[in-house]
Amino acid sequence: METNNQKTQTRPVVNVREDYQARYGFSDPDEYFHKAPKGINHEVVAMISKLKKEPEWMRKFRHEALDAFFAKPMPQWGDTELLNSIQFENIHYFLKSTEGTEKSWDDVPDNIKKTFNRLGIPEAEQRFLGGVSAQYESEVVYHSLREDLTKQGIIFLDMDSALREQEEIVKKYFATVIPPTDNKFAALNSAVWSGGSFIYVPPDTDVKIPLQAYFRINAKNMGQFERTLIIADKGSRVHYIEGCTAPTYSSDSLHSAVVELVAMDGAYIRYTTIQNWSNNVFNLVTKRAMAHTDATVEWVDANLGSKLTMKFPCVYLVGERAKAEILSVAFAGDGQHQDAGAKVIHAAPNTTSRITSKSISKGGGRASYRGMVKVYPSATNCKVSVECDALLLDENSRSDTYPTMEISSDDVRVEHEARVSKIAEEQIFYLQSRGLSEDEARMLIVNGFFEPFVKQLPMEYAVEMNRLIELEMEGSVG
Amino acid sequence: MTEAQIPFRCEDIHVAIESKPVVKGVTLNIKGGEIHALMGPNGSGKSTLVNALMGHPSYSLTSGRIFVNGENVTEMPPHERSRHGMFLAFQYPLAIPGVTVANFLRAAVKARVKDDSEMKAFRKTLLAEFERLEIDPAFATRYVNDGFSGGEKKRLEILQMAMLKPSIALLDETDSGLDIDALQIVSKGINTVVNKDVGVLLVTHYQRILNFVKPDFVHVFMGGRIVRSGGPEMAAQLEKEGYEKIEKEVSRIAEVA
Ligand SMILES: Nc1ncnc2c1ncn2[C@@H]1O[C@H](COP(=O)(O)OP(=O)(O)OP(=O)(O)O)[C@@H](O)[C@H]1O
Ligand SMILES: [Mg+2]
């Protein structure tokens, strides 16, 4: 009999159809939350589902996922030491009942406040991002934006609302790209998910503006275990941006999101992330896309902040001529490990992938590139390109690359390049001879290093991103 | 002429690379409006001299003093020497990937203006300089020296000089690798920068740039020293006779001494 946590780790995943209601159903959610706000077990999961008034299939899904979470071992690769230091029993898995009431502005660490100020984030938004205010005024902007989209038949909702208002389509795609059993953290997310975005773009519809306002203002609301699902129907195009450059402060230390993308025939999805978690956070995210015939999926992913990030955006190229582009940048500062990379599966002929990874390590920080490219025997005439570029800013910092290629087709063109470099003294002298101080020179070189990423961003994000890199360089980010 | 009006003066400069002496006592006086040519065989230490004057960290100044507009800059880091009016056009300019020419120059100009209002004219000035040096304005958005041809790099050095308006320009083989049209354009660029308050030290191997940029003095540099100084006619003589003759004379003098 299991109720609590990892004692049950070795147990295999149980039958989906078991009657969880009988076994784990709970009758008084509010009371429960007052009693046991931390830790993970079936009662908590039952509670979450009940509070959200979810359909039965989702409730079952969550319980099944929780069993998968218990059954799955911790990943045996990556920074296992840090991973094993996660204290699952010390985390709030559902914060709704207390959100916005428990915290005061005084609880937000000073260094984070300082960073907000230096990034020029307005006061109202600062409070919002600091988790003090539950509402942010520009939500109005988001609503009017949504009206425009609705006219085109685009569905753009937070995941909880989507489950209520668009159950059928959510049910059809939910967890089809990333099943709960994929890995321990995907399982955890599946059990306790809350928030995130749902987007459906009808066939041949071009969403002209990047869908971004929503997440910027909801960076806090989306919580620790958000779940995002984007479906671009045949021939449609959409660009989605999540996150924000301001450090996302969270008193709880585990962020574990799941993001699923489905690009149908001829569709185009770009998914841009700028994430800057406060330095206490474990950021363990599963992102995966299905690219069907002639579809293109682009992950543009920046990882800053956090204690440990493990994130390997993935594309399954399942249709002929599908394309994957993954651009991942990371900045690892003191006490941080950015373990980022990419994964591409070529499962169809004439598919193309390009992975570009750029990382900077500074002040003892560690950046790893971990990549996997798989080409199935049937996937003929494929093109694969992997480029990793690491910049070490000092002697104490570290960079590793773990590239894996499993190529079973002999009709593949592979290009692979990996570089680890330091800033050349000559470059600094060159810039100094033009009147820039040594620090200014380093700053400029670092900005240049990230330029291929930054130029992919919409203007306002690019400006913020550069400012943020500057703050990271000064070592003054919260 | 008061000390403060002399753009550049250096006294008895000695430079060592990894404790090996390379420059062995160089004294120069460059007044406003003067162009000094420095000519000498490969490996004689010309680049070492100009880099050390600019404050290169791996070339240690074992003795000597450097003055810009009468101010002693000997102890200053390179960026302050630059802000005091020194400029070095590199023999081998460095690439700075990801940094556009425009952003680079904006940062460099901004580092020396007193307040931001002076930056208003930046774009216009930059475009004007592009036009004057016949550089395609598209270069403004290219990354500094990244994938530039040899000649393009040299032109960009002169463009930077024009934007930074130095008091003393040290030009290290800016003429090397230029085709004849580029040579004329670059020379024109140098000539427009020179005025009564600005001096130039032009390191070169060839007489041909001196047809366009007329030197007031030519110094022959060998074995880490200026072994002979003269007027513009010396450049032609050097080109005809090579360094060998001078070398022999110098060593004869050294033997006698
Ligand atoms: N960083 C360095 N480390 C070691 N030796 C160096 C370094 N830089 C220069 N040297 C040596 O110092 C001497 C002078 O070199 P320098 O580049 O100053 O010559 P130069 O007169 O500019 O030659 P050229 O006409 O070929 O440009 C050479 O013997 C060179 O090999
Ligand atoms: Mg030289």
pLDDT (average), residues B89-110: 95
| B85-94, B158-167, B238-247: the lowest-pLDDT one | B238-247
HEC profile of chain A:
CCCEHHHHCCCCCCCCCCCHHHHHCCCCHHHHHHHCCCCCEHHHHHHHHHHCCCCHHHHHHHHHHHHHHHHCCCCCCCCHHHHHCCCHHHCCCCCCCCCCCCCCHHHCCHHHHHHHHHCCCCHHHHHHHCCCCCCCCCHHHHHHHHHHHHHCCCEEEEHHHHHHHCHHHHHHHCCCCCCHHHCHHHHHHHHHCCCCEEEEECCCCECCCCECHHHHHHCCCCCCCCEEEEEECCCCEEEEEEECCCCECCCCCEECCEEEEEECCCCEEEEEEEEEECCCCEEEEEEEEEECCCCEEEEEEEEEECCEEEECCEEEECCCCCEEEEEEEEEECCCCEEEEEEEEEECCCCCEEEEEEEEEECCCCEEEEEEEEEECCCCCCEEEEEEEEEEECCCCCEEEEEEEEEECCCCEEEEEEEEEEECCHHHHHHHHCCCCCHHHHHHHHHHHHHHHHHCCCCHHHHHHHHHHHHHHHHCCCC
* pLDDT confidence of residue A136: 47
Determine the distance separating the centroid of ligand 1 and the alpha carbon of B46, expressed in angstroms.
Answer: 8
pLDDT band at A281 (very low <50, low <70, confident <90, very high): confident
Token representation of residue B238:
């050097």
Report the run of H or E that residue B185 belongs to, with start and end. helix B180-193
Select from B77, B79, B99 the Cβ nearest to the Cβ of A447. B99
Q: Is the pLDDT of residue A30 over 70?
A: no
More confident residue, B244 or A350: A350
Are residues B40 and B229 in contact, defined by beta-carbon separation less than 8 angstroms?
A: no
CA distance A13 to A126: 43
| A211-220, A305-314, A435-444, B14-23: the lowest-pLDDT one | A211-220
Q: How far, rounded to the nearest angstrom, does the alpha carbon of residue B74 sit from its chain's CA centroid? A: 17
Determine the distance separating the centroid of ligand 1 and the alpha carbon of A437, expressed in angstroms.
Answer: 26
Q: Is the pLDDT of residue A351 over 80?
A: yes
More confident residue, B110 or A6: B110
* pLDDT confidence of residue A5: 37
Closest CA to A230 of A204, A196, A182: A196
pLDDT (average), residues A107-134: 65
Q: Is the pLDDT of residue A25 over 50?
A: no
- CA-based nearest distance B41→chain A, Å: 24
Q: Is the pLDDT of residue A449 over 80?
A: yes
Q: What is the pLDDT of residues B168-206, one digit of tens each?
A: 999 999 999 899 999 999 999 999 989 889 999 999 998
CA distance B165 to A56: 75
| A37-41, A84-88, A156-160, B155-159: the lowest-pLDDT one | A37-41
Q: Is the pLDDT of residue A37 over 90?
A: no
B108 touching A (Cβ < 8 Å): yes
The ipTM of this complex is 0.95
Question: What are residue A351's phi and psi, to 5 degrees?
Answer: -95, 155
* pLDDT confidence of residue A290: 98
Are residues B35 and B216 in contact, defined by beta-carbon separation less than 8 angstroms?
A: yes
How many degrees, rounded to 5, is the angle at CA A161 between CA A156 and CA A165?
85
B-chain residues near A440 (CB < 8 A) = 79, 107, 111
Q: Is the pLDDT of residue B158 over 50?
A: yes
B179: helix, strand or coil: coil
CA distance A341 to A293: 24
Q: How far, rounded to the nearest angstrom, does the alpha carbon of residue A59 sit from its chain's CA centroid? A: 24
Token representation of residue A34:
């007052």
Q: What is the pLDDT of residues B40-89, one digit of tens each?
A: 999 999 999 999 999 999 998 999 999 999 999 999 999 999 999 999 99
pLDDT (average), residues A424-453: 94
pLDDT (average), residues A396-421: 91
pLDDT band at A250 (very low <50, low <70, confident <90, very high): low
B79 touching A (Cβ < 8 Å): yes
* pLDDT confidence of residue A125: 62
Q: If you average pLDDT over every residue of chain B, what do you get? A: 92
Collect contacts of A122-125 with beta carbons under 8 A, ≥24 apart. Answer: A125/A217, A125/A246
* Domain boundaries for CATH 3.40.50.300 within chain B: 3-93+169-256
Residues 6 or more apart whose CB falls under 8 angstroms from that of B237 comprise none
More confident residue, A441 or B256: A441
Select from A440, A444, A450 the Cβ nearest to the Cβ of B96. A444
CA distance A91 to A212: 29
B104 touching A (Cβ < 8 Å): yes
* pLDDT confidence of residue A7: 34
Q: Which residue of A has its CA nearest to B112?
A: A435
- Per CATH, the homologous superfamily of domain B3-93+169-256 is P-loop containing nucleotide triphosphate hydrolases (3.40.50.300)
pLDDT band at A233 (very low <50, low <70, confident <90, very high): very high
Q: If you average pLDDT over every residue of chain A, what do you get? A: 82
* pLDDT confidence of residue B2: 66
CB contact under 8 A, B99 and A438: no
CB contact under 8 A, B79 and A426: no
B147 touching A (Cβ < 8 Å): no
Helix axes B122-132, B150-164, angle to 10 degrees: 140
Of all residues in chain A, the percent with pLDDT exceeding 90 is 54
Identify the residue whose C-alpha is closest to ligand 1 atom 18: B45
Q: What is the pLDDT of residues B196-236, one digit of tens each?
A: 899 999 999 988 899 999 999 999 999 999 999 999 888 88
B7 touching A (Cβ < 8 Å): no
| A16-25, A273-282, A331-340, B206-215: the lowest-pLDDT one | A16-25
Q: Is the pLDDT of residue A216 over 50?
A: no
| A110-124, A163-177, A230-244: the lowest-pLDDT one | A110-124
